[in-house]
Amino acid sequence: MKAIMKLDDLTTVGQLEDFLSGTQAVAFAVISDKDAGYRWIQGELARFGYLTCPRRHKGVLIRYLMKVSGYSRQQMTRLVGQYRANGRLQRQQRTVTGFARRDTASDIRLLAAMDERHDTPCGPAVKKLCERAYGVFGQAEYERLATISVSHLYNLRRSVTYTCQRRHFEKTRPRTSALGERRKPRPHGQPGYIRIDTVHQCDQDKRKGVYHINAVDEVTQSEVVCSVEKIGECHLIPALEEMLDTFPFVLLGFHSDNGSEYVNGRVAALLDKLRIEFTKSRSRHSNDNALAESKNAAVVRKQFGYSHIPQRWAPLINDFNRDHLNPYLNFHRPCFFPEIRTDAKGKERKVYRYENLMTPYDRLKSLPGAKHCLKPGLSFAILDAVALQISDNQAAEQLQKARQKLFKTIHGPNLKTG
């Protein structure tokens, strides 16, 4: 205790409250002896009759003693408990120096040399090597290391003696993210549960290419492709907002792999704001996001190929996606929809019947209660006008012409297209 105030003039609990509120003038005195501080606390407890005063007054007195002495609530509680039990305070000086050190500096240096020889194996392997060195090969210097625990071995590796002789750097270990629920989505035949994945348009001379964001609805296979320069937050968040707004039905689920472009706070906050369920793929379950990955090959790679496309062309490609590719995919491109059949043994098998081949928009209209899934302000009459504005062949021809024009702009007029 460095400072004790002379507060002999404070004789009532009301004066103590004034002091605690800062309105009572006081004088200071310096006491450097801890024993004197204990004697002062004991005297104040006795002077104000702590053992017999009301509970409210006890609280004021405790706060007063804490403020003056500088002790914490826990320490003051221990002192008051000692006063209640014994009627006095006696300082108990700790004389035990702690646990005796068993491992010497030479043992730590011996451990560092062992790690250096064997390229820093795991703790149990090092312990086994020390046991073999002492028990099998008779190296007496390993006697103490042979009997230590594995956990204490890691403590020795963090000691100053060890780090002065040898430093070891480990790779950053992956950390499990609490964002998103790790499970397969369960749409139960209802549209609005999309799968999303990223397709990178290859690197060239250490320069990154365009990124395509591909989102597919699980039930209707409605698909939206968006292209961005980078998958950082400043590019990805606006693209996701545009994609989520493009789907004609209300979105209920958002499923991605475990890439950090989607599993982050900004994306989770966006989905939470829109009340969209966020799920992510499970480990060792490769089919969790198989629908989006299959569309990557059947749609994105077929349209843009595998060659490098510089990032600066992302806005132009995104215009092509918005004006030509996405309308063609949703209103004019037929897709197979599986029909699940269960055999006598209970095994499920998917069957792709020709009768179930239809466009994503036709699939949406065929669902029971589909009109209730549309976003506010949309109706099938409005969507029918868009779907029947041009024929499938006309949409495909416009898509091909726009794609040829796009690649001639990107790669130059000498590009040959087949």
Question: What are 270-310's pLDDT values in tens digits?
Answer: 999 989 999 999 888 888 888 899 999 999 999 999 999 99
Find, among 218, 234, 239, 376, the residue nearest to 288 by Cα: 218
Tell me the pLDDT tens digit for each residue of 72-109: 888 889 999 998 888 888 887 766 666 777 889 999 99
Would you state the structure tokens that stand for residue 106, as one six-digit string? 């030479």
Q: Angle formed by the axes of helices 73-86 and 55-69, to 10°?
A: 120
CB of 115 within 8 A of CB of 170?
Answer: no
Contacts 24+ apart (CB under 8 A), 42-45: 42/83, 42/88, 42/89, 45/80, 45/83
pLDDT the model gives residue 317: 94
Residue type, 172: T
Question: What's the pLDDT tens digit per position in 108-164?
Answer: 999 999 999 998 899 999 999 999 999 999 999 999 999 999 999 999 998 999 988
The 10 Å CB-count burial string (b at 16+, else e) for 154-180 is: eebbeeebbeebeeeeeeeeeeeeeeb
Q: How far apart are CA 379 and CA 320, in angstroms?
A: 26
**What's the rounded Cα separation, in Å, for the pair 267 and 151?**
39
Question: What DSSP line would sit under 231-285, residue for residue?
Answer: -SHHHHHHHHHHHHHHSSB---EEEE-S-TTTSSHHHHHHHHHTT-EEEEPPTT-
**What is the pLDDT, as a whole number, of residue 188?**
87
Please answer whether residues 233 and 240 qualify as being in contact, where contact means their C-beta atoms are separated by less than 8 angstroms.
no
Query: Could you tell me the pLDDT band of residue 1, with boundaries at 50, 70 and 90?
Result: very low
Q: 182-335+392-411 adopts what CATH topology?
A: Nucleotidyltransferase; domain 5 (3.30.420)
| C-alpha separations of 82 from 1, 24, 75, 90, 381 in Å | 19, 30, 11, 8, 84
Beta bridge partners of 406: none
Span 183-238, pLDDT tens digits: 888 888 899 999 999 999 888 888 899 999 999 999 999 999 999 999 888 889 99
- For the segment 314-340, the average pLDDT, to the nearest whole number, is 93
CA dist 265 and 71 (Å) reads 41
- Quick one: CA dihedral 143, 144, 150, 153, positive or negative? negative
Higher pLDDT, 7 or 128: 128
Could you tell me if 13 and 61 are in contact, meaning their C-beta atoms sit under 8 angstroms apart? yes
Indicate the domain borders of the chain: 4-86, 105-165, 182-335+392-411
Neighbours of 1 (CB within 10 A): 18
